Structure 1
Amino acid sequence: MGCGSCSTGGGCSPAGCKSNGSCLTNGCSKLDVHDWLSHMDMPNNYKPFSIVEVKFKGSRKEFYHNNDNIYLEAGELVAVETTTGGYDIGHVSITGELVRMQMTKRHVKEADVTKKIYRRATPADVDKWKMAKDLEWETMHKSRTLALELKLSMKISDVDYQGDKTKATFYYTAEGRVDFRELIKKMAESFRIRIEMRQIGMRQEASRLGGIGSCGRELCCSTWLTDFKTVSTSAARYQNLSLNTLKLAGQCGKLKCCLNYELDTYMDALKHIPDNVNFLKTEKGDARLQKTDIFKKIMWFAYPREESWIPLPISRVKEIQQMNRDGVLPEDLGEIIEVETAPVKVLDYENVVGQDSLTRLDERRNNNKNKSKNKSRNKGPRPDGQAPAQAGPRPEGNRQQNNAPKREGGQQAGPRPNRPEGNRQQNNGPKPEGNTQQAGPKPEGSNRGNNRKPNRPRPNPNNPNRNNNTPPPARPE
């Protein structure tokens, strides 16, 4: 059986749930509490605490009475009582004395707990609960379509079905009040269930949906943060942060809750920093404040039309400030302290896992280009007209005897060596009619091919009349 706090609402696989009911696959281990009393043995006459904490989808947790003294462990599915009738299915999160501490933390009294646990969830209860969870995604999209048709300024962010599939709670966000009476009528006709509309804030919506923050970790509101305190822009000013709404806003569109985490430390450090120190008056001129390091207790000042900043300790700043109040102007800011700057460490990373370089493809491509260039250079003719040099001596068996006399065009007069007799073509007699090449002399004006131009006489470079179009004299036979 899957865990009941899945943010997806469908329940995860049994392999993804730990023994305490937190899911590993769908990321729904929200607001889990470690039972640090589980390994301790209780006294013999100890009566276990009868109230059990049960968690449901999202971060919703409630307390129930275990009147029948059912033995329950963390992570078990139980059927519990609801206020509107029927039953709901949830996971047991905490049992024993730790529940008493959680009730004290949340300011819940034992008399306020009225609902009880019916039984352990049976297979039929689990099947119906899973079918109800499978309908949540489709129901949410249909309800959004109905809200758009009625032109309501609201956003339905999540739907939570009851375990017996008789009721659904719709969570929505809106800037003001919304009249959704007509919407409830249409949704009741289409879904055939009881409907409850519940408005939540932007931070509650982010805690229910979850996500990854700019720090790279899961949102604090969906993992461990339970109370949402107001965050103002003054928290960013005290910490010397730029007032950029894109950087200071979280997933919910509001200021990040983590701005309050270090605010107390900054407020304690600011107690030692003097107030209203915009400039210090000296005989050299007015030195204006440029920067303040509240943890190192150093303040930087600069004279007008000078680029260099002068660091001063807080004690010297208070001294000059008191002198200015008494009407005394010092000659200059005084002794300048040396601010130590930590050297930048250059880390040498070693490739210990055998990862490939990002430029390996470019290097391989350049190597292939160089190889192709070298091959083309070896194959091309030399500038002196000689044949390209061979890489090594050729074997004796592959050498050809070129002792035969050559013709005028540079071809050998004799037959080609090592040529089989069957492949030789006899050009002594006339060829068949289908061949276009004739063994004898070609007639005038004949073409070599159908698409070729007729043979034209080429000009003779030795002829003085080469610019004329007159053909050269015929050679004697």
Structure 2
Amino acid sequence: MACTNCSTKTNDSGIPKGCGSKGSCGTDSCNKLSVFDWLSNMHYPSGFEPFDVVEVRFKNGRKDFYKNIDKLALQMGDVVATEASPGHDIGVVTLAGELVKVQMKKKKVDPYGDTLKIYRKATQKDIDIWSDARKREEPMKVRAREIAIELKLEMKISDIEFQGDASKATFYYTANDRVDFRQLIKEFARTFNTRIEMKQVGFRQEAARLGGIGSCGRELCCSTWLTDFRSVNTSAARYQQLSLNPQKLAGQCGKLKCCLNYELDTYLDALKGMPDSETKLQTKNGEAYCQKIDIFKQVMWFAYPSNGANWYKIEVPQVKEILALNKQGQVIENIEDYVVEEENNASVQSVATTEDSLSRFDEPKRKKHAPRNKKKPVGNTVEKPAATVATDVKRAPRSNENASRPPQAQQSKQQNRPPRNNQPKVQNNQNNPNNQTEKPKPAVQNNAPIKSNEEGASKNQARKKNFKRPNKNNGNNPNSKPNDNKQ
């Protein structure tokens, strides 16, 4: 595991490479179950000798206390050679000073009793032998499991730890029953050619040694900061009103989660003044049984056996009042008179259903149709409003309109068409009864005198009022009546 700040790989001792604090930074994420020494920056008074016992950590959080008889200048993160039987072991100093005395009292170890001693600071040769032994542990664990399966032993070898001088290997295993591993030790000694020691651990200790990520998304408590393992019962889940589902209540060790005990005291304090979950209320309609309890809202739900789907919400003071009447031999009419009136949250629910609905993304959105490509009108005509265009589209096509028109009338109309220079745009709103838009004022009034040279143009302008926009169904042929060309 690497430090969260530097995020570098660790070496064989578990300290990140290039860590200037030697694994003793304030984040305490380099080593498992590390203790922050808040007295490290304080100077001892004159004439005071520091405590001569230090705490040393080995593989997977295993710790022990050793006496510094040679008065070595040890700091957190130093690699030391400690006393072992036989030979010596290699570990990392995790705590020194007065806080070691507090840790020894916590683990019920006599601070002034007989303890093992520290030989020296580890040399480069000691570290090389220790590193080579650590590299052999993983392939040995795979082969050891194969041997245990061949001997048909009901056990699981979870981890192997070599001593610092590579003279002994400790095999940690878990088993439900007692295991006869005498033949297994012989096979291990013959295969690995080293001294073998078997040590059985519990399932919680196994999870603490291996580590992992819990269902909460964080590292396991037993492998980071939890030092003592209390017994966890199913009653802790009942008090917290959790469903007794072993798949949800069990941790990676297969036992009940240790975090079930964290909030248990708070729930027990809240349950002191509440009636039992097996409370019955005597009414004239029959007995009402408790169905559900909300501990922190101080609310209980009751229902009749004949109508179990209909629950009645009653506050705890009202329940105590009914129970007091029942003890006196009085029976209430019904529990409907004690039901809590819920507030009207219609506005809140409407907003929640529209914004926070889980199915709001299920239905695909309707695609907006792109507008059709409309052809530009020919000549000086002006586009009609939407209402007039819609009526023209719905009108049936006139296929024989141009056929009935005489060719002379069509030629005379083309010849008498006025010029396009600066002609006023006029809209025809007379044929559309639904269109009530104001008519544009004509540029030339009908009563104004017209010159003789412009008689043909004025007639064409008057005729142009009945000119209609070309219909799409008939192509570019205008939808004008044959009577428009009459002189």
Q: TM-score, normalised by structure 2?
A: 0.66
After TM superposition, where is structure 1 displaced by more than 3 Å over at least 4 residues in a row? 6-14, 338-349
Work out whether residues 9 and 57 of structure 1, in 8 Å CA contact, stay in contact via their aligned partners in 2: no
Which residue pairs with 2:393 in the alignment?
none
CA deviations 1:210-259 (Å, max 9, x no partner) are 00111111001101111111111111111111111111110001111111
SS of 2:326 mapped into structure 1: helix
SS of 1:112 mapped into structure 2: coil
Q: Tell which deviates more after alignment, 338-347 or 153-162.
A: 338-347
Aligned-CA RMSD value:
3.6
Which residue pairs with 1:287 in the alignment?
288
Distance 2:248 2:146 in 1: 33
Per-residue deviation, 1:275:
2.7
Letter in 1 for 2:138: W
Work out whether residues 277 and 293 of structure 2, in 8 Å CA contact, stay in contact via their aligned partners in 1: no
Of 61, 75, 88, which residue of structure 2 is paired with 1:73? 75
Match runs of 1:55-70 below 5 Å: 55-70=57-72
Distance 2:37 2:225 in 1: 15
Which residue pairs with 1:121 in the alignment?
122
Evaluate the alpha carbon distance shift between residue 16 and residue 313 of structure 1 in structure 2; reply closer, same or farther with a 3 A threshold. Answer: farther
Distance 1:81 1:90 in 2: 10
CA deviations 1:178-200 (Å, max 9, x no partner) are 11111111211221211110000
Distance 2:264 2:190 in 1: 51
CA deviations 1:268-299 (Å, max 9, x no partner) are 11111113644312224432222111112111
Match runs of 1:68-467 below 5 Å: 68-82=70-84, 84-275=85-276, 277-303=278-304, 304-305=306-307, 307-333=309-335, 334-339=337-342
Letter in 2 for 1:337: V
Flag structure 2 segments of 5+ consecutive residues without an equivalent: 357-363, 374-487
Aligned length: 355
Evaluate the alpha carbon distance shift between residue 11 and residue 67 of structure 1 in structure 2; reply closer, same or farther with a 3 A threshold. Answer: closer
Q: Tell which deviates more after alignment, 292-301 or 303-312.
A: 303-312
Letter in 2 for 1:192: N
SS of 2:59 mapped into structure 1: coil
Q: Tell which deviates more after alignment, 264-273 or 207-216.
A: 264-273
Q: Tell which deviates more after alignment, 107-116 or 229-238.
A: 107-116
Work out whether residues 13 and 91 of structure 2, in 8 Å CA contact, stay in contact via their aligned partners in 1: no
Letter in 2 for 1:49: F
Distance 2:15 2:56 in 1: 20
Letter in 2 for 1:67: I
SS of 1:92 mapped into structure 2: strand
Q: Tell which deviates more after alignment, 145-154 or 300-309.
A: 300-309
Q: Tell which deviates more after alignment, 73-82 or 185-194.
A: 185-194
Q: Which has the higher helix share?
A: 2
Per-residue deviation, 1:134:
0.3
Which residue pairs with 1:52 in the alignment?
54
Distance 1:93 1:302 in 2: 60
Per-residue deviation, 1:16:
6.7
2:39 is equivalent to residue 30 of structure 1:
no
Q: Sequence identity of aligned pairs in percent?
A: 54
Work out whether residues 7 and 58 of structure 1, in 8 Å CA contact, stay in contact via their aligned partners in 2: no
Letter in 2 for 1:335: Y
Which residue pairs with 1:422 in the alignment?
none
Evaluate the alpha carbon distance shift between residue 335 and residue 250 of structure 1 in structure 2; reply closer, same or farther with a 3 A threshold. Answer: same
CA deviations 1:362-386 (Å, max 9, x no partner) are 99xx9xxx99xx9xxxxxxxxxxxx
Distance 2:63 2:99 in 1: 14
Per-residue deviation, 1:35:
0.3
Evaluate the alpha carbon distance shift between residue 306 and residue 131 of structure 1 in structure 2; reply closer, same or farther with a 3 A threshold. Answer: closer
Distance 2:228 2:192 in 1: 34
